[in-house]
Chain A
Amino acid sequence: MMLRARFCLLATPFLTLMVMATRLDAQEPRLAGRLPGPVLQRIDSLLDAARRNGLPTEPLVDRALEGLAKGAAPDRIEPAVLRLSDELRLARTAFGDAATAAELMAGASAIRAGATTESLLRLRESRPDQPLTVPAGVLADLVAAGVDIQDGVTAVLAIVAAEDADYVAFRRNVERDIALGASPAAALGVRLRGMTEVLVPGDASVGVGSGGTRRKRKP
């Protein structure tokens, strides 16, 4: 009897801690009750793994919430979350541990569009001290507009000296030209030539197929 009481006394705090630890791994509240138990459990495990690996979990939750808002079946939501998790991981491999959630999300979109981790790594190396959110996002947008992924990568790398606003303007111009009937390759090539004239001259080779260098803008 004494032994049992002593055991209970000893085990209770540890079991309490274990329960607390389990609770810390609890379900994401915004998804709780909105997905079948097993699916929710697997998504929670994904979130937990992402957290452990230093990946942002908010985009994963957002992807599940998007599926729910659109009335998608749970068996479509789970793979979507898993796929995004993989893409975030690849983006982090390319951009490094110091990458922000915004950069990783943009990098994941570029990966989804067909960019390789090597090309994103080159982007990181070309802009070591500048945010990559917009350049990586513009790359994904260009591909969505019909630009070939390799041409898109080349273009984004060719204007690494550009600022975020320049990247956005570049993307808008290419999209507008395509919408007006130009071929994606032609629109990209023409707008890229125009873009390089905005930057400090001296790299006449900039164009589709060139690597590009870091330069300051014209005063």
Chain B
Amino acid sequence: MVENGDDLARIAESLREPVRIDPALDARVMAEIEALPRQPSRLDSRGHWLFRRRTFRLSPMGVLAMAAGLAALVLVAGRVGANRAEPPGAATGPPVEDQAAAGGPGQTTQFVFVAPDARSVSIVGDFNDWSFSATPLEQQPGDGLWWVTLSLPPGRYRYAFVVDGTRWRKDPNSPAAEDEFGRPNSVVTIGGP
């Protein structure tokens, strides 16, 4: 179809005029969209699967086994928690000498005992599991002086000297400690937190 120049000019004129849009159009479109039924998203569908009610069939023994398992888990968690809650310095571990050597807090303490006639003297106490053989004292030749130096972390330690493996002696240089087992005790307190 061939159109003349006047027609083309009219069409061009009408196209140049700005399009008038109803100011309420946006609101109407949004209202229509809101009114559409919602399409479930992938997340929604998973939630639906998660929250869908299901029926499980369990035998009484199965229930018992699960209860036992849960109880065991609670026990294990409790043990682990309790072990972690153990205050510093209270945990079972290497001898205190090793802890101090490893860089832990420690205070060097010298223990001296006079026993001219002794063949051997050892110190037993809270710091060495009360072991007769763990901490022998060295003898100062000719003087009857026996001594040992220990690095002890802060704490309060009961101890005693054992002469010749049989005779228990308290340390005359330290305070006496109460004893519940019929042998003399001394006590040393190492300051610190």
A21 interface neighbour in B59, B76, B189, Cβ under 8 Å: B76
Give the contact stretch, choosing among B11-19, B22-30, B78-86, B135-143.
Answer: B78-86
Minimal beta-carbon separation of A68 from chain B (angstroms): 7
CB pair B156 A105 closer than 8 Å: yes
CB pair B190 A133 closer than 8 Å: yes
Considering only CB atoms, which chain A residue lies closest to B176 in the complex? Answer: A144
Beta-carbon contacts under 8 Å, B93-141 to A:
124, 126, 129-132
Q: A20, A24, A101 — which one has the most chain B CB atoms within 10 A of its CB?
A: A101
* In the complex, B154 has a CB within 8 A of chain A: yes
Minimal beta-carbon separation of B97 from chain A (angstroms): 15
CB pair B175 A3 closer than 8 Å: no
Evaluate whether A58 and B92 lie within 8 angstroms (CB atoms) in the complex, with A69-B130, A131-B193 already known. Answer: yes
Interface extent on B, as a size class? 35 or more
CB pair B189 A69 closer than 8 Å: no
B73 interface neighbour in A17, A104, A145, A168, Cβ under 8 Å: A17
CB pair B61 A11 closer than 8 Å: yes
Evaluate whether A133 and B192 lie within 8 angstroms (CB atoms) in the complex, with A66-B126, A70-B181, A106-B156 already known. Answer: yes
Give the contact stretch, choosing among B1-9, B34-42, B48-56, B64-72.
Answer: B64-72
Rounded to whole angstroms, the CA-CA distance of A133 and B159 in the bound complex is 17
Rounded to whole angstroms, the CA-CA distance of A61 and B158 in the bound complex is 13
Rounded to whole angstroms, the CA-CA distance of A47 and B152 in the bound complex is 23
Q: Indicate with 1 or 0, residue by residue over A174-212, a CB within 8 angstroms of chain B CB atoms.
A: 010000000000000000000000000000000000000
Considering only CB atoms, which chain A residue lies closest to B62 in the complex? Answer: A10
Evaluate whether A144 and B177 lie within 8 angstroms (CB atoms) in the complex, with A51-B82, A105-B155, A133-B192 already known. Answer: yes
Name the A residues within 8 Å of B132 (CB-CB).
Answer: 69
Rounded to whole angstroms, the CA-CA distance of A15 and B66 in the bound complex is 10
For chain A, what secondary structure do more than half of its interface residues adopt (helix, strand, loop), or is it mixed?
helix
Q: How many A-B residue pairs have CB under 8 A?
A: 162
Name the A residues within 8 Å of B46 (CB-CB).
Answer: none
Rounded to whole angstroms, the CA-CA distance of A145 and B174 in the bound complex is 11
CB pair A66 B156 closer than 8 Å: no
* In the complex, A36 has a CB within 8 A of chain B: no
Rounded to whole angstroms, the CA-CA distance of A143 and B66 in the bound complex is 57
B92 interface neighbour in A15, A57, A138, A145, Cβ under 8 Å: A57
Considering only CB atoms, which chain B residue lies closest to A15 in the complex? Answer: B68
A101 interface neighbour in B71, B83, B129, B155, Cβ under 8 Å: B155
B83 interface neighbour in A14, A51, A70, A168, Cβ under 8 Å: A51
A54 interface neighbour in B65, B85, B154, B176, Cβ under 8 Å: B85
Name the B residues within 8 Å of A14 (CB-CB).
Answer: 65-66, 68-69, 72
Minimal beta-carbon separation of B30 from chain A (angstroms): 55
CB pair B154 A100 closer than 8 Å: yes
Rounded to whole angstroms, the CA-CA distance of A57 and B86 in the bound complex is 8
Evaluate whether A56 and B129 lie within 8 angstroms (CB atoms) in the complex, with A25-B79, A109-B187, A141-B187 already known. Answer: no
B72 interface neighbour in A17, A57, A141, A164, Cβ under 8 Å: A17
Rounded to whole angstroms, the CA-CA distance of A11 and B60 in the bound complex is 12
Evaluate whether A57 and B90 lie within 8 angstroms (CB atoms) in the complex, with A14-B66, A72-B181, A105-B156 already known. Answer: yes
Beta-carbon contacts under 8 Å, B164-183 to A:
168, 175-178, 180-183
Evaluate whether A68 and B130 lie within 8 angstroms (CB atoms) in the complex, with A24-B79, A76-B181 already known. Answer: yes
* In the complex, B88 has a CB within 8 A of chain A: yes
- Give the A-binding residues of B (Cβ under 8 A): 59, 61-62, 65-66, 68-69, 71-73, 75-76, 78-79, 82-83, 85-92, 124, 126, 129-132, 153-156, 158, 168, 175-178, 180-183, 187, 189-193
- Give the B-binding residues of A (Cβ under 8 A): 3, 6-7, 10-11, 13-15, 17-18, 20-21, 24-25, 28, 30, 51-52, 54, 56-59, 61-62, 65-72, 76-77, 80, 83, 99-106, 109, 112-113, 131, 133-134, 137-138, 140-141, 144-145, 164-165, 168, 171, 175
